[in-house]
Amino acid sequence: MKRSQLVAISILAVLLVAALVSGAARADSHARQFRDLPEARPSSAFPLGTDDLGRDRLSRLLFATGISLVLAPAAAVLATVLAALVGGMAGYFGRWWDKCTVRVIDLMLSLPWLFLLLAARALLPLNAPPVASLAMTYGLLAVLGWAGPARVVRAGTLRLRQSAFVLQATAEGCGALRILWRHVIPNLKPLLLAQFWTTIPVFILAEANLGLLGLSASEPFPTWGNLLRELQNPFSVRLESFAPLAVVMLSVACFKLATPSQERYT
């Protein structure tokens, strides 16, 4: 592992631990409104001040960080597994299966994501608790976000299918599923890993977009997206309001740095 990857993963780990410790110390600190202290300046009690409802900005930022650092990778795992299944089978079995899959991937990639997400979100049950609505939002991102990685996986599988070791295994009478499971997928691991890491920042930014539109987690849950909304009014923005932006940028940069090189595969 390169030093830059190590540093990036360490930073992400520190952020995650800080978020989890903060959450464990006081579960409702992100939601509690100190109504006598709206928009308070940073102080020892509130190191990043309070928001317009008097909620502790630091607690909310750490809570949002925890959410994104847990749920975005979880959604990325789901998207990568779907991509591996769909892309792997298309690449390996070829013929009509491949043709159909390619069309479905093209269709998925041509869909207007945001509108699809809006429509899908409008169908969610109204009484879902905030944590469930957030999980469903990330779940939707995963279900809608597998197509890009699937195309890459398919291309990789196509190449592997024509490799010498697969030809040899076929010649020795190995079944298709065994070849796929024992030979193809293990060789796709670096590719899948790269897809996993590159998908995380995509999902983080997609959630941030939804949050900016007010369509991410429901109140009182903070997410990076809805915390960034404080920056929408350029005339009233304060220095401490940039903290979520800094953390989002830092995290996305760390995920990008942590993405393993695909050189081993290519």
Partner 1 sequence: MKRLLVLIAMVGLALPGVRAGQVATELHFCLHSEPKTFDPLLVDDVNSETIRYLTGGVLIRIDRKTQQLTPELAASWEVDRAGRRIAFHLRPNLKFSDGTPFSAEDVAYTMKRLMDPETHSPTADPFRSSDAPAQITVSGTLTVSILFGAPVSGLERLFDQVAITSARSPLKTAAVLGPYSVAEYKPGAEVLLSRNPNYWKVDVQGVRLPYIDRIRLEIQRNRDIELVRFRRGELDLISSLDADTFDDLAKVAPRSVFDAGASLESEMMWFNQAPSAPLPAYKLAWFQSTAFRRAVSEAINRADICRIVYRGRARPAEGPISPANRFWFNAALKPHAYDVASSRRRLESDGFRIRNGRLYDREGHPVEFSVVTNAGNHNRERIASMLQQDLEAIGIRLNVVTLDFPSLIERITKTFDYESCLLGLTNFDLDPSAQMNVWLSSAANHQWNPSQKQPATAWEAEIDKLVRAQAGETRAEVRKRYFDRVQQIVWEQAPFLYLVTKDSLTGISPEVQNSSPVAMTPQAFWNIEFLRKQVPPAGSR
Check residue 215 for interaction with partner 1 (CB under 8 A).
Answer: yes
Check residue 40 for interaction with partner 1 (CB under 8 A).
Answer: no
Count of C-beta atoms within a 10 Å radius of residue 220: 15
Kindly state the tokens that stand for 196: 């996993």
Q: How far is the CB of 87 from partner 1 (least distance, A)?
A: 32
3-state helix, strand, coil in the chain (%, to 5): 70, 0, 30
Q: Tell me which of 4, 43, 236, 261 binds partner 1, using CB under 8 A.
A: 236
Q: Tell me which of 7, 219, 239, 253 binds partner 1, using CB under 8 A.
A: 219
The three-state secondary structure class of 50 is strand
Main-chain dihedrals φ then ψ at residue 44, nearest 5 degrees:
-65, -35
Q: How far is the CB of 54 from partner 1 (least distance, A)?
A: 7
Check residue 112 for interaction with partner 1 (CB under 8 A).
Answer: no
Check residue 131 for interaction with partner 1 (CB under 8 A).
Answer: no
Stretch that binds partner 1, among 28-36, 69-77, 105-113, 166-174 (CB under 8 A): 28-36
Stretch that binds partner 1, among 15-23, 166-174, 175-183, 227-235 (CB under 8 A): 227-235
CB 92 within 8 A of CB 184: yes
Render the burial of 120-145: b for 16+ CB within 10 Å, e for the rest. Answer: beeeeeeeeebeebbbbbbbbbbbbb
Closer CB to partner 1, residue 139 or residue 190?
139
Question: How many residues in the shown chain lie near partner 1 by CB under 8 A?
Answer: 29
Check residue 106 for interaction with partner 1 (CB under 8 A).
Answer: no
CB 80 within 8 A of CB 149: yes
CB 255 within 8 A of CB 201: yes
What is the distance between the alpha carbons of residues 202 and 251, in angstroms, rounded to a whole number? 12
Q: Tell me which of 127, 162, 263, 266 binds partner 1, using CB under 8 A.
A: 127
Stretch that binds partner 1, among 26-34, 72-80, 153-161, 178-186 (CB under 8 A): 26-34
Binding stretches for partner 1 (CB under 8 A): 31-33, 35, 38, 52-54, 118-119, 121-122, 126-130, 133, 213-215, 218-220, 229, 232-233, 235-236
